[in-house]
Amino acid sequence: MTTHPFFPQLEHAFSISIELANFHQVQPTSMGATRAAVFAASGKIEGPRLNGRVIPMSGGDFPLVRPNGVIDFDARYLLQADDGTVIYMQNRGYRWGSEEAMAKMSRNEPVRPDEYYMRVSPKFDAPAGPYEWMSRHVFVGVAEKTPGANRIHYFVVL
Which has more confidence, 36 or 78? Answer: 78
Give the contacts of 70 (CB within 8 A, at least 6 positions apart): 94, 95, 96
pTM: 0.91
Torsion sign over Cα 66, 22, 135, 116: negative
Q: Are strands 139-146 and 34-46 parallel, antiparallel or unpaired?
A: unpaired
Partners of residue 136 on adjacent β-strands: none
Is 134 a member of any domain? yes
Q: What would the mean pLDDT of 139-150 be, rounded to a whole number?
A: 88
Kindly report whether the peptide bond that precedes residue 147 is cis, defined as omega within 30 degrees of 0.
Answer: no
Is 12 a member of any domain? no
Is 8 a member of any domain? no
Percent of the chain with pLDDT over 90: 69
Q: How sure is the predictor about 1, in pLDDT bands with cuts at 50, 70 and 90? A: low
The count of structural domains within the chain is: 1
Quote the pLDDT of residue 148.
Answer: 73
Is 9 a member of any domain? no
User: Which tens digit of pLDDT belongs to each residue from 25-51?
Assistant: 887 777 778 888 999 999 999 999 999
Q: What would the mean pLDDT of 133-144 be, rounded to a whole number?
A: 96
CATH of the domain at 123: 2.40.160.20
Which has more confidence, 63 or 32? Answer: 63
Domain span holding position 93: 18-157
Rounded to the nearest angstrom, the gap between the alpha carbon of residue 99 and the centroid of all alpha carbons in its chain is: 21
